[in-house]
Structure 1
Amino acid sequence: MDGEKTHWHTLNPREAAQRLDTDPRRGLSAKTAAARLEQYGPNALAEGKKKTVLQVFLEQFKDLMVIILIIAALISMATGEVESTIVIFSVLLLNAILGTVQHFKAEKSLASLKAMSAPSAKVLRDGSRTVVPSTEVVPGDIVELEAGDMVVADGRILENFSLKVNESSLTGESEAVEKFTDAIAQAETALGDRKNMVFSGSLVTYGRASLVVTGTGMETELGKVAALMNQTQQRKTPLQQSLDNFSKKLAVIIMVICAGVFALNLYHQLPLFTKDGILSALMFAVALAVAAIPEALSSIVTIVQAMGTQKMAKQNAIMKDLKAVETLGAVSVICSDKTGTLTQNKMTPQKIYADGSLLEGHDLDLVNDVQRLLLKAALLASDATTDRETGDIGDPTEVALVMLGDRIGIDEIAYRAQHPRRGELAFDSDRKLMSTLHDIDGVPTLYTKGAIDTLLERSSFLLTRNGPVEMTPERREEISRVNMDLSMQGLRVLSFAYRELPDFRPPTLEDENGFTFIGLISMIDPPRPEAVRAVADAKRAGIRTIMITGDHKVTAAAIAKQLGIFRDGDQALSGVELDALSDADLDQRLEKISVYARVSPENKIRIVGAWQRKGKIVSMTGDGVNDAPALKAADIGVAMGITGTEVSKDAASMILADDNFATIVKAVVNGRGVYTNIKNAINFLLSGNMAGILCVLFTSLANLPMPFAAVHLLFINLLTDSLPAIAIGVEPAGDGLLDQRPRDPGEPILNRSLLLGILVYGALIAAATMGAFFIGLNAGGAGLAMTMAFATLTLARLFHGFNCRGEKSIFALGLTSNKASLGAFAAGVALLAAVLFVPGLNRLFQVTLPSAPQLGLVALLAFAPTVVIQLWKTVRDAVKKHI
């Protein structure tokens, strides 16, 4: 497309139109527009190639653990174990369906980007104004804009009538940008410098204009964001990485041990091999595979994460990605957007300077003539209005000026009606001034507001309580010093002046001289009060907060100081300065930089990536389209639910329903609690599986009958174990989580201490199970032995659920503090009883009904490991307490 090759902002309006073969008076012909629509396609953002449902479904079977289970199912089928085959295939099918459903609930960021386009646009075709769907806008179209319109494509301004456009969704800057027809950009990478261009996705807040479309779809600035999001890959969470590594290692170990068990059973049959003997050896291998594979692990982790999201949602933190819940516990860096996230996104008046005095805005005194005139100039030389019901309307800076009047009960609309506007000179970035002409008691008076350097140069007098006095160099220097002090505090400063004209006539630029300088009004987008506490809490939790904003570096640093983000010795960096740094230089300075200002979407991704290179888990907050790529690149992307764009919400893992930075800290605490519960659930599941593995290995080595059928182990893993694991997942968060350091993301969840606990707990349960096995073997043969081993292992693992609720003993945790664990135990016992006593089920699960004394022994043996574990925990807690 021509728009890709041409620097449109460097052309004058007619050149831009000529390049696109467009008649500015008549627009495109309908025929040309149709041809270009066919050539360039609809004005939409490109989507990546989507996978079919079948492709996604088949991908669920690529996991090595799943392949092992498929092999086990095929062996069960070959040996005539129909029940085991059905159960295994049912489990695999259910997991594949769940995985497919989760895939199609994935992000829809590009769809949201498309939705940002306006549903229609006003274009000039064949000399007539017509309304067309935004998707049919093509390069060369003449589009007309007015206040309230969404810009549907990038374009070069042809005619302009005081156009102001809010580009915050692209640049992160909250203030509307004034546009011109004759501005030539100096820096192609900064949107704000191309003031003769408008960009797709922007909102017209004031004035009107016509433009020639230079880029549509992926050729727009919005399209560049879409391309960035396509290129950005989401990172796996630490838990995903840990479980993936564990699954691979476990799969290899299972295959090696299964092969060894199969060979060992064949060895016991030497010197003759029979078909039944080989099938028996295969069934031993199948039983071991089923015992070793934690079939319910992924489902349990998902359920625990889902329960964590429900709790977070009640605290206004909505988790979109379940897998990201546990990652919150490892977050060590929060890269936060300033506007609307750490601040209120609402300009508020602060200090005023008048009659030689600097005072707070709420101390404005109308008895003082200078202060009264300063307020009059602020209200009359602005167009904004405020209303509690309809909200604030107008430029945020002018809204802040009107708020000064609101504080002392002045209604700006009524006040302006008393002093009607007779003329005006609109704001111009070259002049940096805006002037309005009013009838003040019959005297034509020009009120002007603007940049202090410009207005001071044009002022001949200074207003004091004793009347106007000459503006001397010393007085100019004093006013400039006050302005500098206010700016260093992060305040935006506007200056005000007036001039009486000889008669009522349209004001001219020559009239903007010979002013009487009135004073200064400063304003700020104030920090959220709760954000200050949240930043301090994050620091206590070992989390570094970094401010990333589109605002000026001085302003951003001042706000960061108020929030506690910018401390002595810290540095602030602009986007231009960041671009000049190599990755090595950035890595070296990274720890010292607390504020990044005037940054681009690419800059934000680079900052996130730099912290990730240091091994940090990074959270990125934001609300605009320009934040979306970095939200996706971060480990935890956090979008604002109220002020955030749909694109940012779709790109994020978490949405703050209250737009409150403090909610992030609460979510981190919950995330740490969820991770702890997941770790305890994994401990429970794997220690129980370890008991089954040890039992199968022991009987294989001792050339004894199989202690379990494959269907027994599947029943335990999928039913009776699932309930206590879920109950562990809702264990209340322990005290002091906020005082802990973020966990090391490089440390596997199955660390040395957890693996040792799994082995010890598994050995205790296995010992009790084999005790029941031998009692059954001696009393009634292999069938009874298998039943007693199955019942003991099931019941022991149900008791073991209480051991895995936390590090402390059950007496310290409280038996009834987690009522779900009691319900899970009762339900598990009921399921076991159904298998043992319900006709039909006992045949399906290959059990032989034990006698009452034998059931008593099963209960005692199953309870013994928990007694030992709880005694050990109680003693350990007592020793720790007295150290």
Structure 2
Amino acid sequence: MDTEKQRWHTLETEQVLSSVKSDRQQGLSGAEAESRLEQYGPNALSEGKKKSVLQVFLEQFKDLMVMILIVAALISLATGEAESTIVIFAVLILNAVLGTVQHFKAEKSLESLKAMSAPSAKVIRDGVRTTVPSPQVVPGDIVELEAGDMVVADGRILENYSLKVNESSLTGESEAVEKTADVIPKGDVALGDRKNMVFSGSLVTYGRAVFVVTGTGMDTELGKVAALMNQTQQRKTPLQQSLDNFSKKLAIIIMAICALVFVLALYRQKPILDALMFAVALAVAAIPEALSSIVTIVQAMGTQKMARQNAIMKDLKAVETLGAVSVICSDKTGTLTQNKMTPQKIYADGMLLDGDQLDLANDVQRLLLKEALLASDATTDKETGAEIGDPTEVALVMLGNRIGVDEVAYRRQHPRLGELAFDSDRKLMSTFHSVEGVPTLYTKGAIDVLLERSAWLLTSQGKVEMTQERRAEIARVNTELSRQGLRVLSFACKELEAVRPLTLEDERDFTFVGLISMIDPPRPEAIQAVADAKRGGIRTIMITGDHKITASAIARQLGIFRDGDEALSGVELDAMSDDELDQRLEKISVYARVSPENKIRIVGAWQRKGRIVSMTGDGVNDAPALKAADIGVAMGITGTEVSKDAASMILSDDNFATIVKAVVNGRGVYTNIKNAINFLLSGNMAGIFCVLITSLANLPMPFAAVHLLFINLLTDSLPAIAIGVEPAGKGLLDQKPRDPKEPILTRSLLTRIMVYGALIAAATMGAFFLGLNNGGDALAMTMAFSTLTLARLFHGFNCRGESSLFRLGLTTNKASLGAFAAGVVLLAAVLFIPGLTTLFQVAPLTLPLAGAIVGLALVPTLIIQAWKLIRDLKKGR
């Protein structure tokens, strides 16, 4: 905190403390608030500047392959091939435009998520209570809080009325925290004890309070977590790394081969410009100009499909990474669970029952329910179904709702005459009522405290003495419930002699009534999603701020925690070295009571093992780990803005099962990208073979540079895009995640590329020699260009998948049929429309020669499909 902020912070604290006791309606003046808002800016957590359109556009030209193409364009321009130069730059600009548009489309999707309900605050200014948007809250403001309010800034509590706050967005704890209002020493600007502070991003679940704002934006506890997140570096996706390595190697190979071709041409005493054009033609033939654009388009189409399934991808390049995810580190509260306490089992009159089995005909069970509703303040809006209050008390109200008991009617029938508010030291809460004319104290709280203060036990036969045996039996039931991860509340009652003010001494000599247990239940769809993830070779790890026993019980219900697995607390994790963690990592399924630093460490440990890690979460405390993970997944509805900013993917339905769908889509996108690369490189390899053969044999060039650019830009792009929208094959989730270290160009893929390229090159050279023998160099070039183009269009069907067309189905991907038809039309236009024939340097074709082109172009596809059909039959597909 800088000197100026510290100065007014100290003064403000002193002024507020002196004024609020005498007149709570004071607060800042409107002018002071506006001045501070202008000075310190809105209550924002991100101070980073967004990239401009020009910056994003220029970043698209950083690739080494792009630079080689630019050099090729300049050589073409120097040798008088202006058409080639124009086409090359058209390709590069088109690719850059596509990348820029997709970048800002992703940002727009994120902004639409951020536009979802923004919190507001009840602020006192100029002695008037007013509601202002959260970004307009400034340090020094006096803010009022009530149950259901979102805390919009950090602040010190001035007046407190049994305030409880859920800080799970910061700490991961689902249980509400009790707050106090301590006296602040004069001039003290330290944060002090968390008990007398409220923090931005937390939710008021019970009571009321008034606090003075001490920090907004990056000066809040939430802002500190955001700062930690900003220090975390994002990693490149496996496809990015693979394509980067591929591009570097391909660039070196291309430059070496071009240099060889150039030297050979000079050795054969060809003019230097002709030698340069030969080298340029080879560079254009070798470089898959459309590859970057195709990968971008396929990823963009994948993001659109995923968005329709409620998974919004912020980072386009991260789509394919989903297919390599092998570990999901998931937050528990609100992600795997419903983030609301739900009643489970009850114990009354010596019987342990499910909450749904509660019987109002049983006097003890009826009294237990009555006490649970009267000793609580939570309510349910019958019209909207909204639940307001402490989650524990909401669970008690839910218990009544299940059997048709209205808490409002109960409370109206037995109005509260007094109360002893809950205290964390006492661990009890008591309310005072008149029950059928008898002054009665109802008390709920921790079983260890209430059991010791109970002298009697209520049964259906009446009150009986609380013996050690009965006390031990109740404790046994409590232990049994606790081992199941249930939170247990105990209830007791006591008749008083008259209606009078209550004292703490009244909380003794109770009649013990029973127990009610509750739990934050798993999402039903999350259980199936965890099972599906396991089937797909993906390990799910629970990371939570809750107690280890509770977390382990939930994890077991979800199928995450199995026999032989371990649960680890944050304290235990801090005591371990990285080597110890690495040794035990595979056995640990649950991490409890963890800090943001712990989460980053867990993610990093899995990454050290070479695993691709996804981290899911919705709280501020999840944000650093979301950014550190290979795929950060934030919740779109309950997620904080910081978590959304840090994540690569946002679930607009907060459904854990959507992650599994996204993984299937990610695997499908990667498969399609790999097939598209197969198509592009095998086609380009055919061109390389043809140029090398003619160069070594001292024959005329088989193609002009403009021919190869026409193929790469138009007739190649359309089938490659069609391959990119190939429907996901069945059984993708039955496959194991791919090895992220495995290059995209595996040995088997390189073999197919070489074989496919050789087959297409053979057909092309056949057409070249046919043209050379029937009309000279110009016809030979036209025949080679036409055959290579048409053969690559046919080849698009071969690259749709590993199976033959008989298995895939010719019409299952209508886009491939459209791409083939469009390519044929474009080729026909170049061959037969005057003007275009001149631009593309093609010679006239006779009908027999055109027929020969079609026949030769079809041969490679017939051979490949026959081979695939035989392989399918052998595998029984």
Same fold (TM over 0.5): yes
Q: 1:465-489, CA deviations, whole angstroms, 9 ceiling, x for partnerless residues? A: 1211222222222211111110110
Q: Equivalent residue for 1:10?
A: none
Q: 1:307-353, CA deviations, whole angstroms, 9 ceiling, x for partnerless residues? A: 33343344433333332222121111111111222222232211111
Q: Equivalent residue for 2:188?
A: none
Report if the CA contact (8 A) 1:36-1:138 is conserved.
yes
Q: Equivalent residue for 2:323?
A: 329
Alpha-carbon deviation of 1:510? 2.0
- Answering whether residue 354 of structure 2 is matched by residue 360 of structure 1, we say yes
Pair 820,51 (structure 1): closer, same or farther in 2 beyond 3 Å: closer
Determine the C-alpha separation between the residues in 2 that align with 1:618 and 1:750: 23
Determine the C-alpha separation between the residues in 1 that align with 2:47 and 2:117: 15
Deviates more, 1:311-320 or 1:284-293: 311-320
Q: Equivalent residue for 2:576?
A: 581
- Residue identity matched to 2:621: N
Pair 806,346 (structure 1): closer, same or farther in 2 beyond 3 Å: same
Q: Equivalent residue for 1:827?
A: 822
Determine the C-alpha separation between the residues in 1 that align with 2:863 and 2:32: 85
Alpha-carbon deviation of 1:250? 0.9
Determine the C-alpha separation between the residues in 1 that align with 2:32 and 2:822: 72
- Residue identity matched to 2:471: R
Determine the C-alpha separation between the residues in 2 that align with 1:90 and 1:47: 37
Deviates more, 1:849-858 or 1:620-629: 620-629
Deviates more, 1:711-720 or 1:582-591: 582-591
- Of the three residues 334, 338, 343, the one matched with 2:332 is 338
Report if the CA contact (8 A) 1:183-1:194 is conserved.
no
**Under a length normalisation based on structure 1, what TM-score does the superposition of the two structures give?**
0.92
Alpha-carbon deviation of 1:683? 0.4
Deviates more, 1:374-383 or 1:872-881: 872-881
Q: Equivalent residue for 1:177?
A: 177
- Answering whether residue 123 of structure 2 is matched by residue 122 of structure 1, we say yes
Q: Equivalent residue for 1:153?
A: 153
- Answering whether residue 161 of structure 2 is matched by residue 166 of structure 1, we say no
- Of the three residues 775, 795, 799, the one matched with 1:780 is 775
Report if the CA contact (8 A) 1:117-1:150 is conserved.
no
- Answering whether residue 466 of structure 2 is matched by residue 471 of structure 1, we say yes
Q: 1:423-470, CA deviations, whole angstroms, 9 ceiling, x for partnerless residues? A: 222222121111111111111111111111111122121111121122
Determine the C-alpha separation between the residues in 1 that align with 2:648 and 2:166: 26
Q: Equivalent residue for 1:414?
A: 409
Runs of 5+ consecutive residues of structure 2 not aligned to the other structure: 185-190
Q: Equivalent residue for 2:287?
A: 293
Q: Equivalent residue for 1:93?
A: 93
Alpha-carbon deviation of 1:116? 9.2
Alpha-carbon deviation of 1:153? 2.3
- Answering whether residue 522 of structure 2 is matched by residue 491 of structure 1, we say no
Helix, strand or coil: the match of 2:380?
A: coil
Q: 1:676-706, CA deviations, whole angstroms, 9 ceiling, x for partnerless residues? A: 1211111011000011111111112222221
Helix, strand or coil: the match of 2:343?
A: strand
- Answering whether residue 731 of structure 2 is matched by residue 736 of structure 1, we say yes
Helix, strand or coil: the match of 1:513?
A: coil
Determine the C-alpha separation between the residues in 2 that align with 1:159 and 1:844: 83
- Answering whether residue 661 of structure 2 is matched by residue 666 of structure 1, we say yes
- Of the three residues 487, 497, 500, the one matched with 1:502 is 497
- Answering whether residue 430 of structure 2 is matched by residue 429 of structure 1, we say no
**Under a length normalisation based on structure 2, what TM-score does the superposition of the two structures give?**
0.93
- Of the three residues 577, 590, 593, the one matched with 2:588 is 593
Q: Equivalent residue for 1:759?
A: 754
Pair 475,724 (structure 1): closer, same or farther in 2 beyond 3 Å: same
Determine the C-alpha separation between the residues in 1 that align with 2:730 and 2:113: 41
Q: How does 1:447-462 map to 2 (within 5 A)?
A: 447-462=442-457
Alpha-carbon deviation of 1:598? 1.7
- Residue identity matched to 2:778: G
Q: Equivalent residue for 1:862?
A: 857
- Of the three residues 523, 527, 537, the one matched with 1:528 is 523
- Of the three residues 519, 530, 544, the one matched with 1:549 is 544
Q: Equivalent residue for 2:710?
A: 715
Q: 1:111-138, CA deviations, whole angstroms, 9 ceiling, x for partnerless residues? A: 999999855551467x776777755655
Pair 31,636 (structure 1): closer, same or farther in 2 beyond 3 Å: closer
- Answering whether residue 390 of structure 2 is matched by residue 389 of structure 1, we say no
Helix, strand or coil: the match of 1:815?
A: coil
Alpha-carbon deviation of 1:853? 0.6
Report if the CA contact (8 A) 2:147-2:389 is conserved.
no
- Residue identity matched to 1:59: E
- Answering whether residue 307 of structure 2 is matched by residue 306 of structure 1, we say no
Helix, strand or coil: the match of 1:534?
A: helix
Alpha-carbon deviation of 1:595? 0.5
Deviates more, 1:588-597 or 1:812-821: 812-821
Segments of 4+ moved more than 6 angstroms = 2-6, 13-16, 19-22, 28-39, 108-117, 127-133
Alpha-carbon deviation of 1:624? 2.0
Deviates more, 1:644-653 or 1:90-99: 644-653
Helix, strand or coil: the match of 1:731?
A: coil
Alpha-carbon deviation of 1:23? 5.4
Determine the C-alpha separation between the residues in 2 that align with 1:29 and 1:836: 79
Determine the C-alpha separation between the residues in 2 that align with 1:237 and 1:91: 25
- Of the three residues 628, 635, 651, the one matched with 1:656 is 651
Determine the C-alpha separation between the residues in 2 that align with 1:192 and 1:371: 45
Helix, strand or coil: the match of 1:163?
A: strand
Determine the C-alpha separation between the residues in 2 that align with 1:230 and 1:14: 29
- Answering whether residue 65 of structure 2 is matched by residue 69 of structure 1, we say no
Report if the CA contact (8 A) 1:44-1:218 is conserved.
yes
Alpha-carbon deviation of 1:149? 3.7
Helix, strand or coil: the match of 1:602?
A: helix
Q: Equivalent residue for 1:701?
A: 696
Report if the CA contact (8 A) 1:122-1:144 is conserved.
yes
- Answering whether residue 237 of structure 2 is matched by residue 237 of structure 1, we say yes
Runs of 5+ consecutive residues of structure 1 not aligned to the other structure: 7-12, 185-190, 271-276
- Answering whether residue 282 of structure 2 is matched by residue 281 of structure 1, we say no
Determine the C-alpha separation between the residues in 1 that align with 2:876 and 2:696: 44
Report if the CA contact (8 A) 1:461-1:470 is conserved.
yes
Alpha-carbon deviation of 1:192? 13
Determine the C-alpha separation between the residues in 2 that align with 1:356 and 1:130: 53
Helix, strand or coil: the match of 1:449?
A: strand
- Of the three residues 306, 316, 319, the one matched with 2:313 is 319
Deviates more, 1:518-527 or 1:582-591: 582-591
- What percent of counterpart residues are identical? 81
Determine the C-alpha separation between the residues in 2 that align with 1:2 and 1:79: 63
Pair 878,139 (structure 1): closer, same or farther in 2 beyond 3 Å: closer
Report if the CA contact (8 A) 1:110-1:226 is conserved.
no
Pair 871,626 (structure 1): closer, same or farther in 2 beyond 3 Å: same
Q: Equivalent residue for 1:681?
A: 676
Alpha-carbon deviation of 1:77? 1.0
- Answering whether residue 256 of structure 2 is matched by residue 256 of structure 1, we say yes
Report if the CA contact (8 A) 1:530-1:662 is conserved.
yes
Helix, strand or coil: the match of 2:458?
A: strand
Pair 2,457 (structure 1): closer, same or farther in 2 beyond 3 Å: farther
Deviates more, 1:838-847 or 1:146-155: 146-155
Helix, strand or coil: the match of 1:526?
A: coil
Helix, strand or coil: the match of 1:195?
A: helix
Q: Equivalent residue for 1:17?
A: 13
- Answering whether residue 84 of structure 2 is matched by residue 84 of structure 1, we say yes
Alpha-carbon deviation of 1:748? 0.5
Determine the C-alpha separation between the residues in 2 that align with 1:113 and 1:159: 33
Determine the C-alpha separation between the residues in 2 that align with 1:410 and 1:243: 63
Question: RMSD of the TM alignment (CA)?
Answer: 2.9
Alpha-carbon deviation of 1:769? 0.6
- Residue identity matched to 1:774: F
Deviates more, 1:773-782 or 1:17-26: 17-26
Helix, strand or coil: the match of 1:877?
A: helix
- Residue identity matched to 2:163: L
Q: Equivalent residue for 1:187?
A: none
- Residue identity matched to 2:378: A
